[in-house]
Structures are given as structure tokens and as C-alpha cells.
Amino acid sequence: MHIAIIGNGISGVTAARFIRKLSDHQITLISSETDHFFSRTALMYVYMGHMRYEDIKPYEDWFWKKNRIDLKRAYVSKIDTANKKLELQGQGELPYDKLIIASGSTPNKFGWPGQDLKRVQGMYSYQDLEGMEAASEGLKRAVIVGGGLIGIEMAEMFHSRHIPVTFLVREDSYWDGVLPGEESAMINRHIVENGLDLRLKTELKEIIDDGTGTASGVITNKGEKIDCQFVGLTAGVRPNIGFIKESAPSIETQKGILVDDYLETSEKEVYAIGDCAQIRTPLEGRRPIEAVWYTGKMMGESVAYTICGKPTPYVPRLWFNSAKFIDIEYQVYGTVLANPPENHTSLYWEHEDGRKSIRLVYDKHTSEIVGFNLMGVRYRHEVCEKWLEEKASIETVIQNLGLANFDPEFYKEYEADVVALYNKQTGKNLSLKKKRSLTDALRFLREKVSA
Amino acid sequence: MHLLQKIGLFLFVVALAIFTLSLGLDSYQLSPETLDISKEYQRQEVMDIAQQKGLLDKKYSSNFSFIADFKKVLKEAQASLDQKAQSGLPEGVSEWDFRMGDGDVKSILLQTTKASSTGPVANNPFLFWLLTIGLGILGGLLYILPKFIPLPGIKNNHIYHNSMTRGLKVNVRSVFLGLGIVGIILYGVFYMNNNLLWPLITLALVGLITWLVLYYEKQKTNNPTRSASPDITGWLGVITGIYLIGFYVLLYWSPHYMTAWILISDPISKVLSGNPASQWFLYGMLYTIVMLVMGIRMIAKYRHNNYQIIRTISVIFFQTAFAFLIPEIMVRMNQPYYDFKNIWPLNYSFFFDWNLNNLMNSGGLGLFMLVWGIVLAFIGVPVITYFYGKRWYCSWVCGCGGLAETLGDPYRQLSDKSVRAWKFERWIIHGVLVFAVVMTVMTLYTYFTGSYQVLFFNSDTVRTWYGFIIGAGFAGVVGTGFYPLMGNRTWCRFGCPLAAYLGLVQRFKSRFRITTNGGQCISCGNCSTYCEMGIDVRHYAQRGQDIVRSSCVGCGVCAAVCPRGVLRLENSALDVNTRTSELRAIHIGEGEVTLLQ
Ligand SMILES: Cc1cc2nc3c(=O)[nH]c(=O)nc-3n(C[C@H](O)[C@H](O)[C@H](O)COP(=O)(O)OP(=O)(O)OC[C@H]3O[C@@H](n4cnc5c(N)ncnc54)[C@H](O)[C@@H]3O)c2cc1C
Ligand code: SF4
Ligand code: SF4
């Protein structure tokens, strides 16, 4: 059987690797972007000189041949589901038996005047990185539009080269659609203390053409004109499915490619995974499109089992994510909402340096823990997950909070402060029973297996 | 760059220039007073020949010509004494007091060249200490202190844009390495007095290991190796590497060319031990100062990270106190020179006859040192490593590790992460461990039986060769000289027999491991890139697998640079086998799916 995979990102590659582990099927991994899989999340580090492109490839180049995964550098211009073949732009056709679409995302553009000028781009692909590199020489100012995770990465990139950055954020506070107020404010402060020009409640209205088809400035919704020679568009991403909508209308799409619980599209034996997939009936509390690394990985693994004869529904476990805002690390486990429902309340502790915080979200009626939000502090995924799955009570959690601490050795532990804060807020007299310890954490995790 | 940094860099370059030029500033004049020979017959012979050849009181403006001429005198004196000895020694004089051995020649050459120096450096050693090392420290600190200004956090910007730290293409690097190995082995022929046996055996072993890795381990096809990078050559790094290599070559094999530097160190040495400086004192002093200054840099860079701060203070402390000051003070108190933290087999001369005799003849303290050394090597190492992993030594105590973590920190990313390099590492480091053990057993055999012939080999030649090829060539010239070419732990990773021993304990019986945080890894590669031991940490992290690798020195930098908080160095014996097993699929529905084997 020949399995073709469109896209050599984390989703497509995970699928290919697991199919190879489980079977002897022929696998072709197609991408128009690069010859080999690289970590998209690490593109910024190449620009900043932390790593070379070589270093962000998780597998050595010989890996693919050794594992009999055929690589094909080509653009799929058409999917012919009736005859089960792909049309590769300028490179003929490729028949397949089963098809996995893992074509990822593409940066959003909202019809701004000037959005297609030169030196106006997003930050998604290897080619985008090359574009930024080419534009950096002599760059006097960059304007970045959109306050999400990629926007702040782009800001940090330019900042590393001492290129002044103006950061336009439509919201009242950075990423406040996702981060609760205090954390969002912390990041605002951090952006400013790094010397970036943060403009909240400011939107892009128009990009100015310098007369040669190249950007020379922007005009904001406040009428201000900002001179710049580069405009970064980082107002989110959307599934990269243009080529499917045009060439294979029988594959049902909405925002993304619609898939069932087994990640199969409306066409039999055609699957979609990763950023480009839209789950028809997402699990409770989950969104139909979750464009993150981890879900792509899990979908790749699930679809591999399904294709290799062990039908496996895609059942992501608890939501988790992480990021780094310049120097502040961020981790989240479970449900932490910027605009929480009435029954959620949270215990929020912040360090006096204003760059670390711990937030525990719980149900105020049942006391069940529902989420952890950490800034500048690391928590153990498995421990948090276990508490969340068991719906442990907030008091159980905080008394054992040390079990979750994952900061390096000799780092100060703040769990006792969290307990003290809880006591102060509730008038109780709890104390911290567990400090940071691998042995204790593993014992705790073992209990699950026996219970 | 901060203004202070520019000034600092400028001062440092000036200091380095004066330091380098100081080797050529003095002139040299041999006189009866400067001829540093204690044995009377030898002294007389050398004096006569020097006089014949018109060397006495002749002024040389360069040490090259002085050393060339004086070497001839010594060779001639050596031959003539040999000849005289043939026809009978004078009454009551032993052969050793009469004939000049090669060791005598080397030490006379060094001491006499040093004593014969006159000129600015010899006359103002302390001033030159200030102008070279003192100014260097000042420049270094001015360059480093502004690093405390920006917000704390991981600051690896531009490492791969900087020609000092971006490393070499794999093929250029191979050329340097090949030249290095061939050069050292060729010099070894000369060093062993044209005895070809050991240089040839070494060459054969190099060939054998290369064959084993490329063909037996099938790494030939694993091309290109990971750290091959397109069009990146760091010329500053190359120059730095060559300078360091040159320094080590002089230090180990031709210290008579660096007498100016030894003179500069005299005043400090006299304060500490009461004796004039040797080349080893110079080396120890530089080593300690470099670790101190670069240690401050390390602390500035990781000042948000307590693990790094405490560890750096620890290595600086052990170097300054145990490797540098205490041994000098011991000498002052007429006790044996002893570094309490240097453990066999890294300290390969521990079981040499002269060391054993020296310790046993030095009363209670000497005996204590002997017992301490043995207990540490055979009980301390396995027990402490069981509890904390090999890091307790490699990243907290060891001098080689300490230099690697301070001076070497800017180069940690240059270690090769390919599977091929890993295969090379395993053959080479375990090979060196075997060599060290065999050499020590032969030496002890000779010590107890008095017979130099062990099986087919002469134990004395074996240990001389070990000292040359491993002790000096590998640990010094390649180990440190190659920092900017192959990364800062080249010796620790490929060569150190103690690291191999610690590593075996760590791999098979230790609570130490690096745990990974569930599914948080984004495969970015920072951890692998900054692992100085060339461990592909990401390989494990992206599978959610705990890491137990014999080579990990527990520097903690992988955990520090990870932008997603995935890695943690921890100690616990619980579940170590299941959690290090390949492929833990933990975040998809577990229903029908079983873990893959
Ligand atoms: C800068 C940046 C930082 C990020 N950081 C994080 C993070 O910290 N954490 C996190 O969870 N997520 C992060 N993400 C998101 C994460 O990278 C994506 O969710 C993930 O890469 C999606 O993987 P994928 O395999 O679905 O698609 P992609 O990685 O986008 O791969 C799709 C591939 O398919 C190719 N392709 C598409 N169409 C065709 C065609 N017609 N023919 C041939 N090839 C085609 C594309 O060129 C591309 O190579 C980040 C994304 C970016 C851009
Ligand atoms: S694995 Fe991590 S702790 Fe171990 S040597 Fe490498 S970087 Fe240091
Ligand atoms: S462990 Fe951390 S540094 Fe290493 S690849 Fe994963 S996310 Fe990157």
C-alpha cells in the first residue's frame, strides 16, 4: 500500500514515523517548503543566531532513507480523489492508496490595503525566515501587527538585532483573549522593559507603498503614520487549504478540512491532521481547530494506528500549552480562561519581581481544580494532569503543590507562599505537605496505575 | 556593545599582545652564575664546552638562537660524559651523578635559559605581570561586567553569527583534527627517541577505531553528519584555537621558549611556596585566573539560574583551593605536592613509583594522601556517583571540567551531535580507559617486582607514551586547544578515563537522570545544540523519555536553555527503567493503543 502525506511538518512526520513503526507500507512525504522536516517553532532561534538551520532539524538527513520514508520536494497542485492521484506542480503525478493531508496553516491577512507589498509578510515558513533575513540589512524600524505568540517572537527576533520594533496590538492588553488579566499585564510590562514600542488598542489601517511596490510605513486606526521598512503580519493563522478547495471540492471544508473522530475527511481513505484539520465534533471544552505542535503530534500518531489497521479515534487528553515571552516562560495545563465562567475562581500568586506567577483555577462551588497557569515557574505536566483528571480539590492540590514543581535544583520554591496566600484569602490554616521531589512525584503518579 | 565592553576588549587585546611579545623582549647571556646545574661533573663539562664554543658571556638577542646553540652544547656534553663514563667513573661518583640523562638536559635547558634572561621582563617581572595578566584580568572584567545589565534570561543571541563561536564545517574541522593527530604522533616519534613502536601502535588504533565506526557500526552511510553546516567558518575561532594549541605545545614539550612567562610568575610563586615558578606554576596560575574571570562571565550569563551559579562557584573554589593554593602551601610546609581532588585514572601518575614513594616517605600526611586517593577512586567514585550522577565530579569539582564550563562555555554548542560522533566517542573513551588501566597495572607490577619487562612491553615506555599521548597530547593540546574547533568538552567526552569510569557507574547504577516534562517538547533543538557532550537531548525529550546517558556531565545547561521547561536534572531510583524506555506515548487516548516496543 502506498501512503502519500502532503506536508512534512510535525503532523505529517509523526504520522510517517508511526506508520513505519507499525507497518511496511510505502510512504511518500511531500512538501514544497524544504527537503527535510524542521522544527517550525524554532525558526526564531535561527534568525537570532542561537542555532543554525541544521540544528533545528530533529532528525539527521540519513534518517529518512534508513527508515524508508521517501521524501519528495514538490507542490501538490491538485488532488484527484476519484483516481487516487496527486498532481505535482511541474513534476507529473503521484498515485496513492491512502492520503494524509497535513498542510498546516498560513498567516491571516484581513484585506489591509498594501498587504501584498514587498517587505510585508508573516512568520510561518522557512521562506518567511529568509524574507526577514533579507529585509534586516539596514532596516531602521519594523512594525508588527497582531499581538499573539508569533508576533512577540517576531518582535524578539528583530530586537535581538537591535532593530527598533513597533508592536501594534488591537486588544487592550497583550494576548488578553487567552491570558488572564494579571498575566497579560505582566507581559505588557515585560515587552516595555525590553525596550519595545508597544501600542495597545491600535490597529493597522493601511500599509504605505514607497512607489516601488515596497512598504515604507503604516497608518494606524488612530491616524498615526509610522515609518518602517518592514511590516510583520502576525494576526493569527488559518488552515492552509486553498489548493484543496479549488482542486478537490469533494473534500468537505469549512475553516479547515472537516474530519470525523478518526480524522477521516468526507472522502474515504483521505485523512487530515494537524493545523489544517477541523474536528467535526470536538470533545467538550476543546476547539475544532487547535493549531499547536502537540495536537499535530497526537493526530499524527492516532491516524497512523487507524491507517495501519487499528482504528484509533483522536482523543487528546487535557489541554496544555507553553510558550516563552522574551524571557518569561509560560505553561498552562487544563482550563484557564481570560474570561472565565461564573463558577471559576482562581488563586493567583505573583512574585514581587513581577516576572513569575502561579495561578490555580478551581470551581468555586465544588472546589475542583480546573487549571494551572504558570509564568516563570515550571510545573510537572503529569502531576497537574493527574490532579485535573481526578478533579482533585483545590485544598488537596495546594497542600501537595510541591509535587508539581519542575524548576531546576536550587531554585527557590514558592509553593509555601501560595498556601499562605490561600490561608490569607480564606482564613484557613493549611500547610504545605510536599516539597519538590522526583521520588514523591513518581510515587504519586504510580498511585494512578494501582487505583 | 557597551562602551565599557569596547574598552575591556581593547585592554584585553593589548594585554594579550604584550603577553605574546614578552617572549621576544629579553636577551640571553650565559655565564657561570646562570648555568643552572647542581651536579658538579655535569656542570664542569657543560662549562668547558660552552667556553670552547664561545657561548660564555655572548649576548643573544633571541631565545631561538640562544637555545639552538645551548642545545648543541648540552648534546655535546652529554655525549662526552657518556664517553668518559665508558672509560671508568671517578672514585665514589655514581653513574647518575655523572652522566646526563635526557631529563637532565630538558631541565638544564629550561632553568638555564630562564636564568640567562636579561632585559625588561627579567628585570621587572611584576610590572610585566601587571601589564599582561593584570591588564588581561581588567580588560576581561570590563568586558564581562556589563553582561549583568540586561534582564536575566538565556542570552544566546548571535552565537552562530560570531566568528569566534560559530565553529567550522565538518570537513574543515576534520582537516584540523587530522593534522593535530598526525602532528602529535609524528612528534611522538621524536619524543620517544625514534622508537617507532608506540607511535605505530597508536596510529594503528586510530585507524582501527575509524574503521570500526565507519564500517562495523555502518556510520559511513550516515552522511552528512549533523554538525556539518553550510559555509560557516569562524576565523576568530580558528586563530584562538591555534593560539591555544601553540600554548600547549610549548608548555608540554618546549617550555624553554616560554621562560619570559615563567619569569613573570616568579614573584607570585615566591609569595606562595617560596620557590621560583616552574612552567607548571605558570600554567596553574593562568588556569585559576582564567577560570575565575570566565566564571564571573558564566555567573553573569546564568544569573537567573541558581544551579549554574552554585556549580560555577564550586568549580572555581576547587580549582583555586585544591588545585592551586593548597598544593603550593604543602610544598612550603615541606609536604608532597598533592591535589586532593584529582582522582585516578584522570590523575594517571598516582600509582607511579615516584609518587607512591614520595607519599610513603612523607610521614602521616603522605600516608593519608595515599589512602585518600585510593578510597576516593575505588569507593568514593561509585558511591557518590550512585547518588548524584557523575556531575558531582565533572561539573562541580574537576579542574578540566571547570575550565570547560568557564573558559569553554562560549564554545559548548560546537560539540558534534551526530550518531556517528557518539559511536566514535564510545570506542575512543573506553579505549583510553582500558589503556589507563593496563598502563597502571604494568606500572604497579614493576613497582612490586622490580621488573620492567611486562609480557612483551617495557612498562616504563608504556607509561611515558601514555603521559605523552593522553596526558599531554589529548588532554592538553586537543582537549583545550580544540575548544573553538570541536567544543569545550572534547577531552571530557572523548578522552577522559575517569569520565568513562564515572559514566559506566552513571549508566548502569545511578539515581541520576534528566526527566522530561510530559508532552511539552517542541523539538526546537536548543537542548541538543547547547549540550557540550554532544548528546542529542531532543531525541529523548520529544518522545517524553527520561535520559540516562553515560556521557552526561550534568551541567544543566540543556534544562536552562529549553524554552518550554521540559528538562530537569533529578535524582531518584524510582521507575528509572520504565521511564527511560523508548517511546512513551502518553498523550493520546490509551484505549486500544498499547505502548510500542
Ligand atoms: C513561528 C512559530 C512558532 C510557533 N511556536 C509554537 C509553540 O511554541 N508551541 C506550539 O504548540 N505551536 C507553535 N507553533 C505552531 C506549530 O508550529 C504548528 O501548529 C505546527 O507546526 C503545525 O504542524 P503541521 O504539521 O500541521 O503543519 P506545518 O508544520 O505547517 O507543515 C505543513 C507543510 O505542508 C506543506 N504544504 C502545504 N501545502 C502543500 C502543498 N499543496 N504541496 C506541498 N506541500 C504543502 C507546507 O509547505 C509545510 O511544509 C508555532 C508556529 C510558528 C509559525
Ligand atoms: S545532557 Fe544536559 S546536563 Fe547532560 S551534559 Fe548535556 S547539556 Fe549538560
Ligand atoms: S527539550 Fe526543550 S530545548 Fe529540547 S527540543 Fe524540546 S523544547 Fe527544545
pLDDT at site A359? 98
Mean pLDDT of B535-564: 95
Is residue A28 helix, strand or coil? strand
Residue B520, C-alpha cell as written in the block:
511539552
For residues A142-179, b (16+ Cβ closer than 10 Å) or e, as one string? bbbbbbbbbbbbbbbbbbbbebebbbbbbbebbbbebb
Domain presence at residue B46: yes
Q: Do A406 and B565 touch (CB under 8 A)?
A: yes
Compare CB distances from A408 to B162, B221, B559 and report the shortest one's residue.
B559
Strands (E) in A154-306, as ranges, are: 165-168, 197-199, 204-209, 215-220, 225-227, 230-233, 237-239, 257-259, 270-272, 277-279
Beta bridge partners of B561: none
Q: Given the CA of residue B562, which atom of ligand 3 is nearest to it?
A: 3
Q: Do A45 and B526 touch (CB under 8 A)?
A: yes
Nearest CA to ligand 2 atom 4: B552
**Residue at a domain's end among B450, B472, B494:** B494
Same structural domain, B187 and B257: yes
Assign B229 a pLDDT band (cuts: 50, 70, 90).
Answer: very low
Compare CB distances from B585 to A301, A315, A331 and report the shortest one's residue.
A301
Domain presence at residue B506: no
Nearest CA to ligand 3 atom 6: B521
pLDDT of B456 strictly over 90: no
The minimum CA-CA distance between A447 and chain B, rounded to whole Å, is 13
Same structural domain, B183 and B81: no
Same structural domain, B191 and B259: yes
Q: Given the CA of residue A40, which atom of ligand 1 is nearest to it?
A: 17
pLDDT at site B597? 31
B27-36 pLDDT tens trace? 999 998 898 8
Number of domains in chain B: 2
Q: A297 to chain B: which residues are within 8 Å by CB?
A: 519
Q: Best residue in A51, A190, A383, A447 to probe B by mutation, most B CBs within 10 Å? A: A51
Compare CB distances from A39 to B522, B587, B596 and report the shortest one's residue.
B522
B166-218 pLDDT tens trace? 888 888 888 889 999 999 999 999 888 888 888 999 999 999 999 999 888 88
pLDDT at site B271? 92
Mean pLDDT of A275-301: 95
Q: Which amino acid is at B515?
A: T
Q: B585 to chain A: which residues are within 8 Å by CB?
A: 301
Residue A19, C-alpha cell as written in the block:
506508520
B292-329 pLDDT tens trace? 999 999 999 999 999 999 999 999 999 999 999 999 88
CA dist., res. B185 & res. A342, Å (int): 77
Domain presence at residue B318: yes
Is residue A401 within 6 Å of ligand 1 at its C-beta? no
Same structural domain, B81 and B171: no
Nearest CA to ligand 2 atom 1: B552
Same structural domain, B385 and B489: yes
Contact B436, B350 (CB under 8 A): no
Domain presence at residue B241: yes
Same structural domain, B179 and B307: yes
A297-352 pLDDT tens trace? 999 999 999 999 999 999 988 899 999 999 999 999 999 999 999 999 999 999 99
Domain presence at residue B42: yes
Domain that includes residue B312, residue range: 163-494
Q: Best residue in B524, B531, B578 to probe A by mutation, most A CBs within 10 Å? A: B524
Nearest CA to ligand 3 atom 5: B523
pLDDT of B561 strictly over 50: yes
Inter-chain Cβ pairs, chain A and chain B, closer than 8 A: 183
Assign B235 a pLDDT band (cuts: 50, 70, 90).
Answer: confident
Compare CB distances from B588 to A298, A311, A442 and report the shortest one's residue.
A298
Assign B223 a pLDDT band (cuts: 50, 70, 90).
Answer: low
Nearest CA to ligand 1 atom 53: A124
For residues B554-570, b (16+ Cβ closer than 10 Å) or e, as one string? bbbbbbbbbbbbbbbbb
Q: Do B563 and A312 touch (CB under 8 A)?
A: no
Same structural domain, B298 and B441: yes
Same structural domain, B228 and B92: no
Same structural domain, B194 and B70: no
Contacts of A293 (CB under 8 A, 6+ apart): A10, A40, A41, B522, B523
- Give me the DSSP letters along A341-379: -TTEEEEEEE-TTSS-EEEEEEETTT-BEEEEEEES--B
Q: Given the CA of residue B551, which atom of ligand 2 is nearest to it?
A: 5
pLDDT of A229 strictly over 90: yes
Same structural domain, B247 and B396: yes
Q: Do A411 and B307 touch (CB under 8 A)?
A: yes
Contact A148, A236 (CB under 8 A): yes
What's the burial of B119, exposed, middle or buried (CB within 10 Å: 0-12/13-18/19+)? Answer: middle
- Ligand 2 centroid to residue B548 C-alpha, Å: 10
A382-397 pLDDT tens trace? 999 999 999 999 999 9
- Ligand 3 centroid to residue B562 C-alpha, Å: 5
Assign B521 a pLDDT band (cuts: 50, 70, 90).
Answer: very high
pLDDT of B589 strictly over 70: no
pLDDT at site B595? 39
Mean pLDDT of chain A: 96
Instruction: Compute CA B402 distance to the chain's CA centroid, rounded to the nearest angstrom.
Output: 10
Q: A385 to chain B: which residues are within 8 Å by CB?
A: 518
Q: Do A320 and B418 touch (CB under 8 A)?
A: no
Residue with the larger pLDDT of the pair A29 and B272: A29
Reference B26, options B247, B262, B276, B284; nearest CA is: B262
Q: Are strands A277-279 and B27-29 parallel, antiparallel or unpaired?
A: unpaired
> How many Cα atoms sit within 13 Å of B233 on the Cβ side?
10
- Ligand 2 centroid to residue B492 C-alpha, Å: 12
Contact B415, B161 (CB under 8 A): no
Place of cell 487516487: A84
pLDDT cut 90: percent of chain B above it: 74
**Residue at a domain's end among B53, B84, B118:** B118
Is residue A105 within 6 Å of ligand 1 at its C-beta? yes
Is residue A239 within 6 Å of ligand 1 at its C-beta? no
Nearest CA to ligand 1 atom 4: A41
Is residue B522 within 6 Å of ligand 3 at its C-beta? yes
Reference A400, options A433, A441, A440, A351; nearest CA is: A433
Domain presence at residue B558: no
Q: B545 to chain A: which residues are within 8 Å by CB?
A: none
Same structural domain, B111 and B195: no
Domain presence at residue B19: no
pLDDT of B93 strictly over 70: yes
CA dist., res. B268 & res. B274, Å (int): 9
Nearest CA to ligand 2 atom 2: B558
Q: Do B564 and A411 touch (CB under 8 A)?
A: no
Domain presence at residue B305: yes
Q: Do A438 and B571 touch (CB under 8 A)?
A: yes
pLDDT at site B594? 41
pLDDT of B582 strictly over 70: no
Q: Best residue in B158, B548, B564 to probe A by mutation, most A CBs within 10 Å? A: B564
Compare CB distances from B529 to A51, A324, A327 and report the shortest one's residue.
A51
- Ligand 1 centroid to residue B543 C-alpha, Å: 19
pLDDT at site B41? 87
A77-91 pLDDT tens trace? 999 999 999 999 999
pLDDT of B586 strictly over 50: no
Nearest CA to ligand 2 atom 5: B552
Same structural domain, B489 and B382: yes
pTM beyond cutoff 0.90? yes
Q: Do B568 and A378 touch (CB under 8 A)?
A: yes
Beta bridge partners of A76: A88
Q: Which helix (H) or strand (E) holds B63?
A: helix B63-86
**Residue at a domain's end among B84, B118, B152:** B118
Q: Best residue in A8, A161, A381 to probe B by mutation, most B CBs within 10 Å? A: A381
> How many Cα atoms sit within 13 Å of A338 on the Cβ side?
13
Q: B230 to chain A: which residues are within 8 Å by CB?
A: 54
* ipTM confidence: 0.96
Could you give the domains of chain A? 2-106+238-307 (3.50.50.60), 120-235 (3.50.50.60), 320-450 (3.30.390)
